[in-house]
Amino acid sequence: MSGPEESTRELVRRTALRLFRERGFASTTMRTVATEAGVATGVAYYWFGSKADLVQELYLDVNEDHARRAAGALEGVSGLGPRLRALWHVGLDAFEPSHGLGAELVAVAIRPGAAESPFSRASDATARLSRDLHAQAVQGARVPAALRDELPYLLWLAWLGVTLFWVHDASPGQRRTRALVDGAAPLIARLVRVAGVPGVRSVVDDVVRLARQVRA
């Protein structure tokens, strides 16, 4: 797809993302997006079937920004702890413009069956992108073989926990979340290292088994 049609879709998308951040989720309707974009409401619905579809565009936009920032942040950094710390800090940088919107989206996403949930089928592309970033963080790190395949998924779950904390963090510049990242990244790296210690393997196997069951 190219030409005027693609430009119209991008105009609607960019307008919606701006309004979400400026006015919030509840106050941004499809009609509002269309009016601000200077198109008919039917045109907005032609490209995006619902406001939930536009939220997915926001998720994708933020995570693509995270990926761009991570490419530079991870370069030359070794060790799981430092790489995870770098990845999560630039993730917070990418998410920062949407901080005011976060609580609203969490309230919507927590509803059973919500398309806005990070675990929904609609969020597959964004979740996969984020998990791929965590797989990059694992690359080059010493990880027990039994844990290597599932570690990116487990780290992604931890990242979701960090972002939930960040959403509710009212400290200046979300410095409490930054402190959480600084403390959690090396702690996770230490836990991964001890996963290879004899006697711990059975626990690791249980964790891996549980992760696979949850993903099934």
Q: What is the 3-state secondary structure (H, E, C) of the chain?
A: CCCHHHHHHHHHHHHHHHHHHHHCCCCCCHHHHHHHHCCCHHHHHHHCCCHHHHHHHHHHHHHHHHHHHHHHHCCCCCCHHHHHHHHHHHHHHHHHHHHHHHHHHHHHHCCCCCCCCCCCHHHHHHHHHHHHHHHHHHCCCCCCHHHHCCHHHHHHHHHHHHHHHHHCCCCHHHHHHHHHHHHHHHHHHHHHHHCCCCCCHHHHHHHHHHHHHHHC
Rg, the chain, Cα only: 19
Asked whether the beta carbons of 154 and 211 are under 8 A apart, the reply is yes
pLDDT value at residue 2: 47
Residue pair 104/26 in contact (Cβ under 8 Å)? The answer is: yes
Return the closest-CA partner of residue 100 out of 182, 10, 15, 26: 26
- Quote the distance between the C-alpha of residue 6 and its chain's center: 26
* pLDDT at position 168: 95
- pLDDT score recorded for residue 4: 60
- What values do phi and psi take at 158, rounded to 5? -65, -40
pLDDT of residue 1: 46
Given the structure tokens 């979300």, which residue do they identify?
174
Pick from 41, 33, 31, 32: nearest CA to 16: 33
Ordered per-residue pLDDT tens for the chain, 216 residues: 445 666 999 999 999 999 999 999 999 999 999 999 999 999 999 999 999 999 999 999 999 999 999 999 999 999 999 999 999 999 999 999 999 999 999 999 988 889 889 989 999 999 999 999 999 999 878 887 778 888 999 999 999 999 999 999 999 999 999 999 999 999 999 888 887 676 676 777 777 777 777 765
Cβ proximity of 94 and 65 under 8 Å: yes
Cα–Cα distance measured from residue 83 to residue 110, given in angstroms and rounded to the nearest whole number: 30
Spatial separation of the C-alpha atoms in residues 6 and 106, rounded to whole Å: 30
Q: pTM, whole model, 2 decimals?
A: 0.88
